[in-house]
């Protein structure tokens, strides 16, 4: 057993044992739907004995913080499909062999102690780049240590920056919520627009890539509709081009709606929002984001009244307006992960493959991709999916993103508000000494 292939051959036979599922990184509106998919699929197969959830990702697993999913009501598991955020808890902890090799080795020893103590033979980790890297490392260690555990990564990230998958569960829902918000804010701002003109700048998430910002283009049903400018990190910010476009838009429509990705970059590659020159009362840099800085620019140079909106976490957990397609794909990714492991696969991430041609009715399927080719890679928007001036995604982007926001998830309500579920979290008894 010296490589992934060897393991794959060996584990074609039925592997009997327990399953562990955990969540990692920033939550999304549908990461729980993936966990529901794992749990419901696992429940169909006898060789999977116990189904455990790891609390707060790998960090909780290292502390032997496991819960017994079979103690949860079936209704609760079904409810995970419309419940936002990470029901199992999440973490940003990374087993980092490159930077902290000794700590990483200790962590890996401990992790396999936990796996052995609870006979974990199936491990599913829902997360983004870092989490897939962790999954890959665990897969490699299982081979080295000759302890068979089948490891499959489940893709998750609102940022949509994982490579090799057509898109990531979580992205469609944030795209849908943000586009609806842009549409509504535009109705508001335009109805107040007078000859003085008005500008509104909406800051959205996405870190180093502009997928989320760009997807707000879906709010456009006519060329003059908002958003009028979309600033993405892939295109270095050009102040002159930006201000000229704001000015022209206000002159034409009396208002201008700008969407900016939080990770917008200057030409020198540094973040546009970073501003170490202004310190607060405690000597820390002032907490102004990209939108606030752009607003200062527009007000200062164009004297146009400018308001900002920073949706922040609100956008990534807005399950009250999640995409049905996104939710269904998230469930399917969880199910596919379990089926792959049962077929003997390990060291793969589930990916979404688009099987329809651009413009044709949307069709997709799940497939697997080697984790070695996923970890720590960042998928950017292709340059030819953006307009020549870089201020607006073009039809190629729209055809890509449009199907991902289709349909609404039905969320039960109580007292006029969403009725989300919470897990009982019945703890699995610890058998190891504390970490």
Within residues 50-69, the interface with a second copy by CB under 8 A covers 56, 59
Q: How far is the CB of 122 from a second copy (least distance, A)?
A: 23
Region from 135-143, 259-267, 335-343, 409-417 binding a second copy, contact rule CB under 8 A:
409-417
Quick one: DSSP state of residue 271? B
188 assigned to active site: no
Among 108, 183, 231, 338, binds a second copy (CB under 8 A): 183
Q: How far is 329 from 395, CA to CA, in rounded Å?
A: 24
Residues in 24-43 at the binding interface with a second copy, rule: CB under 8 A: 26-27
Please identify, using beta-carbon distances, which residue of 150 and 316 lies nearer to a second copy: 316
Residues 154-173 that bind a second copy (CB under 8 A): none
Nearer to a second copy, 248 or 286 (CB): 286
Complex with a second copy: residue 47 or 193, whichever CB lies closer:
193
Q: Which is nearer to a second copy, 49 or 296 (CB)?
A: 296
Q: Kindly state the tokens that stand for 349.
A: 């991430």
- Which range touches a second copy (CB under 8 A), out of 275-283, 328-336, 374-382, 384-392? 275-283
Residues 314-343 contacting a second copy, CB under 8 A: 314, 316-321, 323, 325
Determine if 362 is a binding residue for a second copy (CB under 8 A): no
User: Given candidates 247, 396, 407, 425, which one binds a second copy under the rule CB under 8 A?
Assistant: 407
State which residue, 112 or 237, has the beta carbon closest to a second copy.
237
Of residues 185, 246, 352, 386, which one binds a second copy by CB under 8 A? 185
Give the relative orientation of helices 290-302 and 239-253 as an angle to the nearest 10 degrees: 70
CB of 238 to a second copy, least distance (A): 17
How far apart, in Å, are the Cα atoms of 351 and each of 156, 343, 371, 399, 429? 10, 16, 11, 19, 34
Instruction: Give the C-alpha separation, 39 to 16, whole Å.
Output: 16
How would DSSP label each residue in 75-103?
HHHHHGGG--S-TT--------TTT-HHH
- Between 319 and 374, name the residue whose CB sits nearer to a second copy: 319
Structure tokens at 215: 């997807």
Examine residue 271 and tell whether it contacts a second copy (CB under 8 A).
no
DSSP secondary structure string for all residues of 130-167: HHHHHHHHHHHHHHHTT---EEEEEE--TT---SSSSS
Q: What residues form DSSP beta bridges with 350?
A: 368
Site for a second copy in 384-403 (CB under 8 A): 402
Tokens at 165, concatenated = 């998958």
> Closest approach of Cβ 257 to a second copy, in Å?
10
Q: How far is CA 262 from the centre of its chain?
A: 15
Binding of residue 415 to a second copy (CB under 8 A)? yes
CA distance 180 to 251: 25
Q: Is 202 helix (H, G, I), strand (E, B) or coil?
A: strand
Rg, the chain, Cα only: 23
In the range 106-145, which residues lie near a second copy by CB under 8 A? none
Options 288, 379, 394, 399; binder of a second copy; rule CB under 8 A? 288
- Strand 305-310 relative to strand 198-204: parallel, antiparallel, unpaired? parallel
Nearer residue to a second copy within complex by CB, 16 or 360: 360
State the catalytic residue, choosing from 130, 159, 292, 326.
159
- Angstrom distance (rounded) from CA 381 to CA 384: 8
Q: Does 412 bind a second copy (CB under 8 A)?
A: no
Q: What is the H or E stretch that residue 20 is in?
A: strand 17-23
The residue from 194, 223, 359, 361 that contacts a second copy (CB under 8 A) is 194
CA distance 200 to 205: 17
**Minimum CB separation from a second copy for residue 89, in Å?**
5
Q: Which is nearer to a second copy, 194 or 276 (CB)?
A: 194
Judged by CB under 8 A, which stretch of 112-120, 192-200, 206-214, 385-393 contacts a second copy?
Answer: 192-200
What residues contact 428, with CB distance under 8 A and at least 6 apart?
52, 66, 67, 68, 118
| 360: contact with a second copy by CB under 8 A | no
Q: What's phi and psi for 417, nearest 5 deg?
A: -130, 160
Catalytic residues: 159
């Amino acid at each position: 057993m010296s490589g992934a292939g060897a393991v794959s051959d060996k584990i074609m036979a039925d592997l009997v044992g327990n399953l562990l599922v955990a969540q990692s990184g920033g939550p999304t509106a549908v990461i729980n739907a993936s966990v529901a998919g794992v749990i419901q699929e696992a429940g169909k197969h006898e060789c999977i004995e116990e189904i455990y959830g790891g609390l707060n990702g790998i960090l909780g697993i290292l502390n032997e913080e496991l819960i017994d999913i079979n103690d949860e009501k079936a209704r609760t598991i079904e409810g995970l499909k419309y419940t936002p955020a990470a029901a199992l808890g999440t973490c940003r902890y990374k087993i980092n062999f490159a930077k902290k090799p000794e700590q990483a080795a200790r962590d890996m020893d401990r992790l396999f102690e936990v796996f052995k103590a609870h006979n974990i033979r199936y491990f599913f980790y829902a997360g983004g780049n870092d989490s897939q890297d962790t999954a890959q490392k665990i897969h490699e260690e299982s081979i080295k240590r000759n302890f068979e555990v089948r490891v499959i990564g489940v893709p998750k990230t609102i940022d949509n920056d994982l490579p090799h998958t057509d898109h990531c569960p979580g992205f469609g829902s944030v795209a849908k919520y943000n586009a609806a918000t842009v549409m509504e804010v535009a109705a508001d701002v335009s109805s107040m627009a007078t000859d003085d003109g008005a500008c509104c700048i909406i800051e959205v998430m996405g870190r180093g890539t502009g997928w989320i910002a760009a997807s707000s283009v879906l709010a456009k049903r006519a060329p003059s509709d908002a958003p009028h400018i979309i600033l993405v990190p892939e295109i270095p910010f050009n102040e002159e081009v930006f201000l000229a476009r704001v000015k022209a838009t206000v002159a034409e429509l009396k208002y201008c709606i700008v969407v900016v990705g939080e990770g917008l970059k200057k030409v020198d590659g540094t973040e546009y929002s970073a501003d170490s020159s202004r310190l607060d009362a405690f000597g820390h840099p002032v907490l102004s984001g990209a939108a606030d800085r752009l607003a200062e620019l527009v007000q200062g140079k164009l004297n146009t009244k400018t308001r900002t909106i920073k949706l922040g976490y609100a956008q990534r957990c807005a399950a009250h307006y999640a995409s049905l397609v996104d939710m269904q794909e998230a469930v399917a990714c969880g199910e596919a992960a379990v089926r792959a492991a049962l077929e003997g696969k390990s060291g793969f991430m589930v990916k979404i493959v688009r099987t329809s041609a651009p413009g044709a009715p949307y069709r997709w399927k799940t497939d697997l991709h080697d984790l070695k080719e996923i970890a720590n890679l960042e998928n950017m928007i292709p340059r030819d999916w953006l307009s020549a001036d870089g201020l607006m995604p073009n039809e190629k982007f729209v055809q890509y993103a449009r199907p991902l926001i289709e349909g609404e998830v039905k969320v039960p309500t109580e007292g006029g508000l969403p009725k989300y579920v919470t897990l009982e979290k019945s703890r699995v008894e610890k058998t190891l000494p504390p970490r």
